[in-house]
Amino acid sequence: MNFLAEMNTEIARFNMVEQQIRTWQVLDKNVLSLLSQLERQWFVPSAYHALAYSDTEIPLGHGEFMLPPRVEARLLQDLGLQPHEQVLEIGTGSAYLTALLALSCAHVTSLECHAELLSQAQQNLQNADIHNVRLLQSQGVPTHLPHASFDAVVLGGSVAKVPDELLKLLKPTGRLLAVVGEEPIMQTTLVQRQADGTGHGRVLWDVVIPRLHGFAESAIFQF
Q: What is the pLDDT of residues 126-150, one digit of tens each?
A: 999 999 999 999 999 998 999 999 9
Average pLDDT of the residues of the chain: 94
Average the pLDDT over 177-184 and give the result.
96
Radius of gyration (Cα) for the chain, nearest Å? Answer: 17
Q: What residues contact residue 178 under an 8 Å CB cut-off, 6+ apart? A: 154, 155, 158, 159, 162, 188, 189, 191
Domain boundaries of the chain, sorted by first residue: 57-206
112-127 pLDDT, tens digit each: 999 999 999 999 999 9
DSSP state for residue 220 in the 8-state scheme:
P
Residue 54 has pLDDT above 80, yes or no: yes
Residue 2: its pLDDT value, please? 64
Range 57-206: architecture per CATH: 3-Layer(aba) Sandwich (3.40)
Whether 220 shows a pLDDT value over 70: the answer reads no
DSSP state of 12: H
pTM for the model stands at 0.94
Tally Cβ neighbours within 10 Å of residue 181. 20
Confidence of residue 7 (pLDDT cuts 50, 70, 90): confident
For a pLDDT cut of 70, what percent of the chain falls above it? 96
**What would the mean pLDDT of 151-170 be, rounded to a whole number?**
96
CA distances from 171 to 41, 88, 154 (A): 34, 12, 14
pLDDT higher than threshold 90 for residue 209: yes
**Three-class secondary structure of residue 143 per DSSP:** coil
Beta bridge partners of 109: 88, 134
